[in-house]
Amino acid sequence: MDAPVKKKSSGAINAALGIMGLFILWRITHLCIGVFGEPRPADLCIVNIQGNVLHPGKYRIPSGMTHFEILKVAGIRPTSDISSFDLAQQVSGDKQLDVGTMPNAVSIKKQPDNVRLEFSLGQISIIGRDGKSRPVEEGQAIAAGDRVLSEEKSQAELSVNAYSRMDVDEYSECVFDKINEEEKNKKLVAVFQKSGTCWYKITYGAKTELFRTTTPLVNISVAGTGADFMVVVRQDEIDIHDMDGLLLVERTTGSEAINMISGQSAVIFSDNRPFQVSQLASEVNPADRFSSLTKQKTDFVLRNMPLNFLFCAVPSVYYFISVHFETGKVHAVNIPGSVSVEEFVQGCSTLDQAFLYGGAVFVGTLIEQIMDARIPKYCVFTKDDVIRAAASFGGISVDVDEKAASTLRVTKGIQKLNNEQLVGFLKPGLSGSEDFQARQIRVIKAVFEGLRSKNIILTALLAEQMLANLETNFTVSEVMNQYAKFNEGHNWSFKEHALPIKQVTQKGKVRNDPNIEECKTLLQGN
């Protein structure tokens, strides 16, 4: 997906830039509360912000700016205490803001670790402790005591905790004896590799983690911060190839032990001959051995996995967009900035606060947990980004409601709005928050229809210019690849969703908690 794409035709280029338009204009819907145009002197006020911020001092700001916007400019530290601020409150006069200090920095709460089957090729079997086989599907959890078996021309990739991976080659059998069990103040993952070849890419996310591979002849413990190694179990010997990291290798009888370092191979014989250690041979290349699995997985992901990305606007507008190429559906989930994230974060209450602490990356991490979906891409728009995008497209045709039409002095119904009109159309204070959200969705739909009908056309140069000015991790080549897929689809449909929320009263305050079970199944069956 990250590979460069040759620009062979204007169609491919326009395709690429179309999805850029999708990104940008979907992002238009997330317009921030801002003052339209240059403020008049009478509209200016002085805000003196002091305390635990990166840039304390006096700021001359337009009347109507929110606490969110002011704190964003002042800069929040991980220990800044902003719990007392109403981030949506607008400033209408001179004001003093004081930011306190928390005893501990904001941090993500530890999520349960596990082992999962991420992808498989060919015939893979998973047999439980009770001897019964279980259906094999991507993403399923592996429990302690489960056996994983691979047949001829079969391979599997498993994830271990947050950062580690394990690839299983054909004719292999592994048993997960322990999964994060306490052992000498460590959380141990222990795998018994009975036969075959496995490639282990172990990275410890905490000092309390420990990974151990047991074979019929030796135990292999990963030391330091992790290791990259391959183990081949044959009838009369065990071959260990250490590509990177420190391994502690000890006979199961305890009669012999060595420390293996990066670039070494070791052969352990069943007749108790001393370990034979040598330099890692150039032909030892796990990536080549598992290239079919990697290619199949990459093709599967590109072909079937949805394009998930997050759009943020300053302040308080967040959309999770999921484009399902296989079914031809685009989903847009509106996530309120007031939604509680206390279940996932220590020291941070709402999604708006999370943005101030860690930006779109932090927000995306939290929404991943709420929606149970991987969200690898993000895009953040400001008012200026919206104006520039709308101007580049020559305006957007939107269904204008009566209240907005009166303010914009246009006729109710489908109207092509220019950049200034579009900003006014999306202004939250125009006629209330409910109307504001409805207009956001209308603009998203308008962009979707423009892309589907190919009425919105971009150029490669324009896409590059837009990406250069946006806070995003999209690249032009990724945009081109994804929109090419979008162009191949037919009968696209668009569906909007509101995040399932339940109100909880705690200590006299109402909190908007995400209904996790409903959130995780929101897009299923759609």
**Residue 328 φ/ψ region, left for φ over 0, alpha for ψ in the -120 to 50 degree band, beta for the rest:** left
SS3 state of residue 213: strand
Per-residue burial over 60-81, b if 16 or more Cβ lie within 10 Å, else e, is ebbebbbbbbbbbebebbebbb
Here the tokens at position 508 are 């006299």
Residue 300: CB atoms within 10 A of its CB come to 13
pLDDT of residue 3: 40
pLDDT of the residue at 110: 66
CB 438 within 8 A of CB 29: no
pTM above threshold 0.95: no
Measured distance CA(445)–CA(439) in Å, rounded = 10
Domains and CATH numbers, the chain: 10-32+305-520 (3.40.630.190), 41-105 (3.10.20), 115-296 (2.60.120.1440)
* pLDDT at residue 31 in the model: 33
Q: Alpha-carbon distance 162 to 246, whole Å? A: 20
Q: Which residues does the chain have with pLDDT short of 70?
A: 1-42, 110-113, 298-304, 315, 383, 386-387, 389-393, 428-429, 432-433, 451-459, 525-526
Q: CB-based burial of residue 489 (10 Å sphere; 0-12 exposed, 13-18 middle, 19+ buried)?
A: middle
> What is the per-residue pLDDT for 85?
92
pLDDT value for 34: 34
Helix 383-393 to helix 10-28 angle, to the nearest 10 degrees? Answer: 140
Model pLDDT for residues 232-288, shown as the tens digit of each residue: 999 999 999 999 999 999 999 999 999 999 999 999 999 999 999 999 998 888 988
Q: What is the pLDDT of residue 456?
A: 61
Q: What CA–CA distance (Å, rounded) separates 140 from 145?
A: 15
Place of tokens 């290619």: 295
Residue 28: its pLDDT value, please? Answer: 37
Do 15 and 64 meet the contact criterion of CB atoms below 8 Å apart? Answer: no
- Which pLDDT score, from 0 to 100, does residue 313 have? 77
Closest by CA position to 333, among listed 306, 355, 353: 306
Length of the chain counted residue by residue: 526
Instruction: Centre a 10 Å sphere on the Cβ of residue 281 and count the other Cβ atoms it contains.
Output: 9
Q: What is the dihedral of CA 410, 408, 435, 339, to 10 degrees?
A: 140
